[in-house]
């Protein structure tokens, strides 16, 4: 049944995206070129609407059974998704302020956390003991997680097919790990959304015919944040890192964007052209090559998360240290923070010179 629903979602997205494209053009939901954007012509956006409708079709076809301890999970996800989709649709058409978009994200997160009763109540420490959160902490922490991941996906939506592809890889990884755990619900939701995104990718990969817009980026970020919570909540500190590794590309890009803007004394929300994809483009890679490189990085993060989940505590700690070191070297080599920020590379070079 899951395979059937997967195929239905792919076909639905393939059929719906051209219709959504015509609708976006008709209502003026288009993306105009500017100094910060890579594309050079007016493009229809709001393509995420096709992903969302395909997702709803998949939910109707598959009718995934919510966990017994979260009986309202399905309606909570659907209502929260409606709110996030409306936020994205209005932003794609009217360009909402950051405060209004944040309000929409908080409302969607509240539906899942309060109505759906999804929250991180505790986690077990790796060497013994448990940290418990009361509702005054668990609710805001869970909402912050949902909003952070939602915006992380939105921030990487800068090249044709980039956010859609990275999201699909993350969803497949979450689905596979849910399968290993025997969590059919999380696996089903993740696969439905992945299938809906794959159909859309046919029209969104370079050269794109339509952008997903905030409608798609916010929806994908919202769903990924929720399914990762469902799949990895209330577990060990080490295991809590798993969804962070899976979403390594958008999360690291967001973190380094914040660091970069702080160092340059700019507001955190200030746009710039120094994200991961911008840096790779500046090094000489083509549009398509840049997207494929980031896909490969996302797959490496996904594979690392799977290996990480099977490692011992000390193995996981060592692996995390290696991943952190690799990220830092990569960031310095492409100038993700700035062209002058190369402390680790300079240290290695100075050590090499002394040895010579």
Comparing CA positions, the residue from 3, 192, 185 lying closest to residue 81 is 192
Q: Is 272 annotated as a binding residue?
A: no
Q: Are 191 and 171 contacting, i.e. CB atoms less than 8 angstroms apart?
A: yes
Q: Which two tokens stand for residue 319?
A: 């692996």
Can you give the three-state secondary structure of 124-188, one letter per residue? ECCCCCEEECCHHHHHHHHHHHHHHHHHHHHHCCCCCCHHHHHHHHHHHHHHHHHHHHCCHHHHH
Q: Is 183 annotated as a binding residue?
A: no
Q: Which two tokens stand for residue 147?
A: 């909003």
Q: CA separation (Å) from 207 to 170, 213, 323?
A: 23, 16, 32
Mind giving me the DSSP string for 214-258? Answer: HHHHHHHHHHHHHHHHHHH-S-BHHHHTHHHHHTHHHHHHHHHHH
Q: Are 219 and 88 contacting, i.e. CB atoms less than 8 angstroms apart?
A: yes
Distance (Å, whole) CA 351 – CA 347: 6
Q: How far is CA 283 from the centre of its chain?
A: 25
* Widest distance between CA atoms in the chain: 67
Q: Which two tokens stand for residue 271?
A: 């746009």
Residues 6+ away with beta carbon under 8 Å from 225: 145, 146, 148, 149, 150
Q: Which residues are annotated as a binding site for Mg(2+)?
A: 154, 214
Q: Which residues are annotated as a binding site?
A: 154, 214
């Amino acid at each position: 049944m899951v395979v059937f629903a997967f195929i239905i979602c792919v076909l639905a997205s393939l059929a719906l995206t051209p219709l959504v494209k015509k609708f976006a053009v008709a209502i003026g939901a288009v993306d105009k070129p500017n100094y910060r954007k890579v594309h050079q012509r007016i493009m229809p956006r709001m393509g995420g609407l096709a992903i969302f409708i395909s997702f709803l079709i998949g939910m109707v076809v598959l009718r995934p059974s919510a966990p017994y301890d979260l009986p309202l999970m399905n309606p909570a996800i659907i209502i929260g998704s409606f709110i996030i989709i409306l936020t994205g649709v209005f932003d794609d058409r009217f360009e909402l302020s950051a405060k209004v978009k944040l309000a929409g994200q908080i409302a969607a997160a509240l539906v899942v956390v309060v109505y759906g009763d999804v929250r991180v109540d505790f986690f077990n420490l790796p060497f013994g003991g448990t940290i418990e959160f009361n509702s005054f902490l668990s609710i805001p922490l869970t909402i912050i997680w949902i909003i952070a991941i939602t915006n992380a996906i939105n921030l990487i939506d800068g090249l044709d097919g980039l956010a859609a592809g990275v999201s699909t890889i993350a969803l497949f990884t979450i689905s596979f790990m849910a399968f290993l755990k025997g969590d059919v619900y999380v696996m089903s939701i993740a696969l439905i959304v992945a299938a809906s995104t794959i159909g859309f990718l046919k029209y969104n990969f370079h050269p794109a015919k339509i952008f997903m817009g905030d409608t798609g980026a916010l929806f994908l970020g919202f769903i990924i944040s929720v399914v990762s919570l469902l799949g990895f909540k209330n577990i060990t500190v080490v295991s809590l890192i798993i969804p962070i590794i899976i979403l390594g590309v958008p999360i690291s890009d967001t973190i380094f964007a914040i660091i970069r803007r702080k160092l340059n004394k700019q507001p955190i929300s200030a746009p710039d052209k120094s994200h991961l994809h911008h840096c790779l483009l500046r090094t000489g890679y083509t549009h398509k090559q840049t997207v494929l490189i980031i896909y490969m990085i996302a797959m490496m993060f996904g594979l690392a998360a799977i290996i990480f989940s099977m490692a011992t505590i000390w193995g996981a700690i060592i692996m995390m240290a290696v991943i952190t070191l690799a990220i830092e070297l990569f960031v310095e080599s492409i100038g993700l923070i700035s062209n002058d920020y190369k402390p680790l590379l300079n240290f290695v070079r100075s050590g090499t010179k002394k040895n010579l």
